[in-house]
Amino acid sequence: MIRFVDLPRQIASIRGELDAAIDRVISRANFILGEQVEIFEKDFAHLCETKHCVGVDNGGTALELALRALGVGEGDAVILPANTFIASVTAVSITGAKPVLVDVDEKTYNIDPALVKAAVTANTKVIMPVHLYGQIADMDSLLKIAIERNIFILEDACQAHGARYKGKRAGSLGDGAAFSFYPGKNLGAFGDAGAVVTNDGELAEKVRLLRNYGSKEKYYHELVGWNKRIDTLQAAILEVKLAHLKEWNQKRLSHAKMYNELLTVIEQVTPPYVPDWAKPVFHLYVIRVPRRDELREFLSEKEIETGIHYPLPIHLQKAYLHLGYKKGDFPITEKLAGEILSLPMFPELEAREIETVVSAINQFFALKS
Ligand SMILES: *Cc1c(COP(=O)(O)O)cnc(C)c1O
């Protein structure tokens, strides 16, 4: 059996360190905003090459609170790609603002700046690029639009921990960024967690208040906020894992290279496209193929797990029919949804497993042609 993501394998490799970190939190019983939270925030900001990091309870919250801290609400519009996980869009709609979807670039699968430019109106307050699958969007083109039109950029970096764009880290490229530490992400907790990073001290302070009932000093509240704090336990676990992130990302990159090389002989497969300026972290390794569903079934029979990210675009989801989009509005996103397939990808994946996956794909297309 080749798993899509094999967390037990990763946990086993650092079990001792994790047990010790968890034990320290239990011994001190500092479960809420304990010192490990501050330590992790400092170290994660360092990784992202930003000045500030504020830990929250999940990635969706990180997006939401960053938007709220930027002043986004009723009457505002936020432009984001149609090809994303639902949380990007939910974060916008729960602030009361309107999500404005645009299609993606056919090669990178990330937001298309030309379409963003065309979608900007007087109500546009934020552009939210999503660094899908761990590869950063075309930030220079987006920043140009944002600066010209006086719009904020909030990076949805929930899949891009440690990725680089022209040498700069994901999270350091806009006004702020949101990360998710969902267990299967490149940096994952033992439950839900997330963070906002930014170079803007005021923005960070606002998010810090919003996540903690509007309070800096216990029982004194400056604004109406929520309880959306990161747990000390999760921060302590993340701190242990953070020390391994660069090595893990490096391994993902070399697995992707191996997939690329082995897959070149299968003409039906389109491997991921990586522009010169990108250094992705391959949260997912996504190929495009004809007869995707048949291939997926074939692999599943051979006990190879795969995924589809994502099978139904946002604008065709029941939850977002009220936005008024229809089938055909985002042709590239819609086409991708029928052709993309995410292959097993995690740092502990072994070379012989990659070979097994590729030879099964080869076998499928040899049988079918
Ligand atoms: C995972 C993810 C989120 C949300 O993260 P949660 O921690 O699950 O709330 C948002 N955007 C993208 C692109 C994601 O992959």
Q: In this predicted model, what pLDDT tens digit does every residue of 251-287 receive, in sequence order?
A: 999 999 999 999 999 999 999 999 998 999 999 999 9
Tell me phi and psi for residue 193, to 5 degrees.
-170, 165
Residue 31 has pLDDT above 90, yes or no: yes
* Both structure tokens of 42: 């400092």
pLDDT at 261: 98
pLDDT at 367: 83
In angstroms, what is the span from residue 208 Cα to ligand 1's centroid? Answer: 20
pLDDT band for position 146 (50/70/90)?
Answer: very high
- How much is the average pLDDT of 108-128? 98
321 CB burial (10 A radius; 0-12, 13-18, 19+): exposed
Following DSSP, what letter does each residue of 12-76 receive, concatenated?
Answer: HHTHHHHHHHHHHHHHHT-TBT-HHHHHHHHHHHHHHT-SEEEEES-HHHHHHHHHHHTT--TT-
pLDDT band for position 369 (50/70/90)?
Answer: low
pTM over 0.85: yes
pLDDT tens digits, 1-12: 999 999 999 999
pLDDT band for position 136 (50/70/90)?
Answer: very high
Please choose from 179, 182, 196, 308 the residue to mutate so as to test ligand 1's pocket, defined by most ligand atoms within 8 A of CB. 182
pLDDT tens digits, 309-363: 999 999 999 999 999 999 999 999 999 999 999 999 999 999 999 999 999 999 9
Query: Of all atoms in ligand 1, which is nearest to the CA of residue 58?
Result: 7
Q: What is the mean pLDDT of the chain?
A: 97
Q: Which residues contact 216 (CB under 8 A, 6 or more apart)?
A: 208, 209, 222
d(CA 302, CA 344): 13
d(CA 211, CA 153): 21
Query: Of all atoms in ligand 1, which is nearest to the CA of residue 61?
Result: 9
* β pairing state of 52-56 and 194-198: antiparallel
pLDDT band for position 249 (50/70/90)?
Answer: very high
Distances (CA, A) of 218 to 198, 212, 213, 215: 25, 10, 10, 6
Which residues have C-beta atoms less than 6 Å from ligand 1? 58-60, 84-85, 87-88, 130, 156, 158-159, 180, 182, 192, 194
**Relative orientation angle of helices 292-301 and 351-368, to the nearest 10 degrees:** 130
In angstroms, what is the span from residue 107 Cα to ligand 1's centroid? Answer: 22
Residue 60 has pLDDT above 90, yes or no: yes
Residue 169 has pLDDT above 90, yes or no: yes
pLDDT tens digits, 182-217: 999 999 999 999 999 999 999 999 999 999 999 999
Query: Of all atoms in ligand 1, which is nearest to the CA of residue 182?
Result: 7
In angstroms, what is the span from residue 38 Cα to ligand 1's centroid? Answer: 22
Q: What is the share, in percent, of the chain residues with pLDDT greater than 90?
A: 99
Residue whose CA lies nearest to ligand 1 atom number 5: 59
Q: Virtual CA dihedral for 267, 273, 275, 280, nearest 10 degrees?
A: -140
Determine contact, residues 37/195, Cβ cutoff 8 Å: no
- How much is the average pLDDT of 302-311? 98
Residue 228 has pLDDT above 90, yes or no: yes
pLDDT band for position 246 (50/70/90)?
Answer: very high
Residue whose CA lies nearest to ligand 1 atom number 6: 59
Following DSSP, what letter does each residue of 156-214 receive, concatenated?
Answer: E-TT-TT-EETTEETTSSSSEEEEE--TTSSS--SS--EEEEES-HHHHHHHHHHTBTT
- How much is the average pLDDT of 63-88? 98
Q: Residues 13, 347, 342, CA angle at the centre, nearest 5°?
A: 140
pLDDT band for position 106 (50/70/90)?
Answer: very high
pLDDT at 281: 98
* Both structure tokens of 298: 């074939």
Query: Of all atoms in ligand 1, which is nearest to the CA of residue 63?
Result: 10
Q: What letter represents residue 294's amino acid?
A: E
